[in-house]
Chain A
């Protein structure tokens, strides 16, 4: 019998697992970002800050930058204020449909921006059903951002709240604290890290928000993201766009560093929103017995109904209403819309393209993400030691490197790929592969942030047990670890699929005329005048809505495998 190889030797090849995703991100994220820097700072092959100075002294740019900043800050505050009661609701109140609603929250979060924009145009557009026209104002953007990010706050903070021991609040009460003081001095400090994590994600998403601002903001409300797109696609000022992109990157990095300090000690990344599980101990959940508790439940449900459900419901209803009453006329018209016009996109082609891109993105992102996640979370050290089973320092650095694209905007990815990957050896501009690759860059951080906690939650003793029963290292992974991580893998795959399906920012830069995607088709239809185009946009939006919702709900309802918790 050979000498027994200690399990720790697996450490030696573990960093190699990080190589595929790191190489991928170097080629398709770092290289494009460097190309942006080059284009902005050395436009003609040598350092020339002329464009930089021009851009920085342009009052329009200052206005756009300032708007981007305060719009994001306001969105963040609004999301936290509206989301905190929701987090409390899920963490503390037992009510029928709690689990379903928790899953449903993810639907708005991954809803394609063009769908949301269409929905809000129906709801609060110039001829919207509410009669209040808010498009072109900051309010439309704020409401849309709350729509997208409500789940970030509720699920991130709610999951943290569920693990709080209610008795700490009761202890504070018996020690003389009023309910308000108990909340401020006991509950809130314990939630601080989770709130900071949620806030940082909401801020980043709002800071780099593209589709919503482009389609709802009108001409007055413009963020850096929209400005970069306009400078590129409309004015062909690539130098200016590059400088703006650099400006935005600096902003993103500053925000990440600043908020990283606030949430120090809080290991989870903000995208924990996706993997967040309902796990409150039952004794912490109380049925809403008092009048106040019932009112609290009702108000929260009303907020969710108004902000999250109403736009989507109205969108569906509106798509079914025609001049001749209720019917599927708008959907039937999709197949027979006027061909030949340059702007025309065959909807069935677009849907087919979107599904193909989404499938390839899903496979790429899960394969690369799994490599990265196991490199970060792989068991170098036994679980439950002082470092919390996180493995050695290597995991931290790899995690940081792989999570970076989260902070970068879709427009940066799209713009960067546009200017970097158009010449040999990497000439992908005209390749079919360009879009799935860009989508994978965007989906990868989400995939990793779902997989890492999943892998870490596997009880190391189960793997030790399998090894002691004679399983080889590969056998342990295949027969024990992989089945236990299966749910996380499926969730990650679902989200990668949904992200690709709805991706708009990068796609707007990179899409080829031959194979447009569904969001692009919707964006075009929205941009064309006429009632026919609009009902076409509605019908397409509903199709995209349904596909996205089905994918997201299917994966979120997968129950964790009980054994994983031992």
Chain B
């Protein structure tokens, strides 16, 4: 299976009767074999964009190209693009094998060939033996795998995933995420994945695009975006908690003449309990235990700004602490 190159140029999608374009002049390129995550809140236009690529939503402007060929006017069934739907859209009247093999009809395979393909696919998603089960009797994770196998069956050059894991519980999600990643890596498939969950996007993607109100607002590798989100919106959307006016921490660190809003990533903050309480410049407000470490919220004595730091153990609330900031880790933000 060889992934295709997907190019979007100034793509716009209008919904009838809506005031604003659902997708407003979006351009992006997905390289062959790349996994791209589109991250955005609900209503950001990410799903609409995905449906436009699949040919299920007419575009008003721009062009969508696959391996250089314009997809305008190409009906969904001839695009070579497979879409895995948020609620899966499994065919309730067909069994597992019927679902997985649906796209194999009319592709020059005889019955035995089709059965063989279905077997291979079920093996890949670890569902061998489920051929004749009704899809309505499967667990959430199993249904997910059937949907994935069904989408992979047609050997698409681009696989589109719309919130593929949103219906699953946390632990199952983590497990499937790893599985998906390995599967995509091994198959060299081009994948465009849409989600509202930054953890999911960061775990799966080579590159992340963030959308808001129909437009792309940020783009980069997970590391790049996390360490330098660029705008306050993106920073907050990614889960950064300490964003404040530069002058409120000016007495702690020399931030030069930048001014404006500053992002203080958690690793940039060091917290220690001083021997002499008089050396303290902050006090612990609260601590939350999260996945093996403590997120400690501290309030600066001067100016009252609050900062979040990550510590192995948390001092009790009210403890006077001394805070230092790593100047190189701070990022100024555009509004």
* Interface residues of A, Cβ cutoff 8 Å to B: 165, 167-168, 170-179, 181, 185-186, 189-190, 192, 286-287, 289
Closest B residue to A177 using CB positions: B77
How many residues of chain B have a CB within 8 Å of chain A? 30
User: B40 at interface (Cβ–Cβ under 8 A)?
Assistant: no
Contact status B89-A175, CB under 8 Å: no
- In the docked arrangement, what's the CA distance between A173 and B107, Å? 14
User: B213 at interface (Cβ–Cβ under 8 A)?
Assistant: no
* Interface bits B51-93 vs A (CB < 8 Å: 1, else 0): 1001110000000000000000001111101110101011111
* Neighbour of B91 across the interface among A178, A186, A192, A289, CB < 8 A: A186
Contact status B153-A190, CB under 8 Å: no
Contact status B102-A172, CB under 8 Å: yes
13 contacts between A and B (CB under 8 A): A165-B89, A168-B89, A171-B83, A171-B91, A172-B91, A172-B102, A173-B55, A177-B105, A186-B91, A190-B91, A287-B16, A287-B17, A289-B16
User: B154 at interface (Cβ–Cβ under 8 A)?
Assistant: yes
* Neighbour of A173 across the interface among B76, B90, B93, CB < 8 A: B76
Closest A residue to B17 using CB positions: A287
Contact status B93-A190, CB under 8 Å: yes
Closest A residue to B80 using CB positions: A176
- In the docked arrangement, what's the CA distance between A175 and B78, Å? 9
User: B103 at interface (Cβ–Cβ under 8 A)?
Assistant: yes
Closest A residue to B85 using CB positions: A167
- In the docked arrangement, what's the CA distance between A186 and B103, Å? 12
- In the docked arrangement, what's the CA distance between A186 and B75, Å? 18
CB contacts (< 8 Å) of B54 on chain A: these are 170, 174
* Neighbour of B93 across the interface among A167, A177, A189, CB < 8 A: A189
Tell me how far the C-beta of B330 lies from the nearest C-beta in chain A, rounded to whole angstroms: 44
CB contacts (< 8 Å) of A289 on chain B: these are 16
Give the residue among B16, B54, B102, B154 with the most A Cβ atoms within 10 A. Answer: B102
Tell me how far the C-beta of B100 lies from the nearest C-beta in chain A, rounded to whole angstroms: 10
User: B150 at interface (Cβ–Cβ under 8 A)?
Assistant: yes
Contact status A174-B16, CB under 8 Å: no
Closest B residue to A287 using CB positions: B16
CB contacts (< 8 Å) of B85 on chain A: these are 167, 170-171
Closest B residue to A191 using CB positions: B93
Contact status A174-B83, CB under 8 Å: yes
Tell me how far the C-beta of A389 lies from the nearest C-beta in chain B, rounded to whole angstroms: 17
- In the docked arrangement, what's the CA distance between A178 and B77, Å? 6
* Neighbour of A190 across the interface among B55, B92, B106, CB < 8 A: B92
CB contacts (< 8 Å) of A181 on chain B: these are 105
Tell me how far the C-beta of B77 lies from the nearest C-beta in chain A, rounded to whole angstroms: 5
CB contacts (< 8 Å) of A192 on chain B: these are 93
Given A168-B89, A170-B83, are A175 and B16 also a contact pair (CB < 8 Å)? no
Contact status B103-A175, CB under 8 Å: yes
Contact status A174-B107, CB under 8 Å: no
Which residues of chain B from 76 to 127 have a CB within 8 Å of any chain A CB?
76-79, 81-83, 85, 87, 89-93, 102-103, 105-107
* Neighbour of B87 across the interface among A165, A172, A176, A177, CB < 8 A: A165
Contact status A167-B81, CB under 8 Å: no
* Neighbour of B106 across the interface among A176, A179, A189, CB < 8 A: A176
Given A173-B55, A178-B77, output 17 extra A-B contacts at Cβ < 8 Å: A167-B87, A170-B56, A170-B85, A171-B90, A171-B91, A171-B150, A173-B75, A174-B56, A174-B77, A174-B79, A174-B83, A175-B103, A177-B102, A177-B105, A178-B75, A185-B102, A186-B91
Contact status B91-A174, CB under 8 Å: no
CB contacts (< 8 Å) of A177 on chain B: these are 77, 102-103, 105
CB contacts (< 8 Å) of B90 on chain A: these are 168, 171
- In the docked arrangement, what's the CA distance between A287 and B89, Å? 23
- In the docked arrangement, what's the CA distance between A176 and B156, Å? 10
CB contacts (< 8 Å) of B51 on chain A: these are 170
Tell me how far the C-beta of B9 lies from the nearest C-beta in chain A, rounded to whole angstroms: 22
Closest B residue to A167 using CB positions: B89
Contact status A176-B83, CB under 8 Å: no
Which residues of chain B from 140 to 155 have a CB within 8 Å of any chain A CB?
150-151, 153-154
CB-based closest 9 A-B pairs: A175-B103, A167-B89, A173-B76, A171-B89, A189-B93, A174-B83, A176-B77, A168-B89, A176-B103
Tell me how far the C-beta of A194 lies from the nearest C-beta in chain B, rounded to whole angstroms: 12
Contact status A175-B75, CB under 8 Å: no
CB contacts (< 8 Å) of B106 on chain A: these are 176
Tell me how far the C-beta of B31 lies from the nearest C-beta in chain A, rounded to whole angstroms: 22
- In the docked arrangement, what's the CA distance between A483 and B93, Å? 37
* Neighbour of A174 across the interface among B82, B92, B93, B105, CB < 8 A: B82
CB contacts (< 8 Å) of B105 on chain A: these are 176-177, 181
- In the docked arrangement, what's the CA distance between A175 and B56, Å? 12
* Neighbour of B153 across the interface among A172, A175, A178, A179, CB < 8 A: A175
- In the docked arrangement, what's the CA distance between A110 and B91, Å? 36
Contact status B56-A173, CB under 8 Å: yes
CB contacts (< 8 Å) of A172 on chain B: these are 91, 102
CB contacts (< 8 Å) of A165 on chain B: these are 87, 89
CB contacts (< 8 Å) of B79 on chain A: these are 174
CB contacts (< 8 Å) of B76 on chain A: these are 170, 173-174
Contact status A175-B154, CB under 8 Å: yes
Closest B residue to A174 using CB positions: B83
- In the docked arrangement, what's the CA distance between A181 and B79, Å? 16
CB contacts (< 8 Å) of A179 on chain B: these are 75
Tell me how far the C-beta of A283 lies from the nearest C-beta in chain B, rounded to whole angstroms: 11
Tell me how far the C-beta of B158 lies from the nearest C-beta in chain A, rounded to whole angstroms: 11
Tell me how far the C-beta of B86 lies from the nearest C-beta in chain A, rounded to whole angstroms: 8
- In the docked arrangement, what's the CA distance between A170 and B16, Å? 19
Contact status B87-A173, CB under 8 Å: no
* Interface bits B232-250 vs A (CB < 8 Å: 1, else 0): 0000000000000000000
Closest A residue to B78 using CB positions: A176
Contact status A176-B107, CB under 8 Å: yes
Give the residue among B17, B55, B56 with the most A Cβ atoms within 10 A. Answer: B56
CB contacts (< 8 Å) of B81 on chain A: these are 174
CB contacts (< 8 Å) of B83 on chain A: these are 170-171, 174
- In the docked arrangement, what's the CA distance between A181 and B107, Å? 14
Tell me how far the C-beta of A88 lies from the nearest C-beta in chain B, rounded to whole angstroms: 18
Which residues of chain B from 1 to 33 have a CB within 8 Å of any chain A CB?
16-17
Tell me how far the C-beta of B106 lies from the nearest C-beta in chain A, rounded to whole angstroms: 7
CB contacts (< 8 Å) of A185 on chain B: these are 102
- In the docked arrangement, what's the CA distance between A244 and B78, Å? 59
CB contacts (< 8 Å) of A190 on chain B: these are 91-93
CB contacts (< 8 Å) of B102 on chain A: these are 172, 175, 177, 185
CB contacts (< 8 Å) of A173 on chain B: these are 55-56, 75-77
Closest B residue to A186 using CB positions: B91
- In the docked arrangement, what's the CA distance between A303 and B110, Å? 43
Tell me how far the C-beta of A176 lies from the nearest C-beta in chain B, rounded to whole angstroms: 5
Tell me how far the C-beta of A399 lies from the nearest C-beta in chain B, rounded to whole angstroms: 24
CB contacts (< 8 Å) of B87 on chain A: these are 165, 167
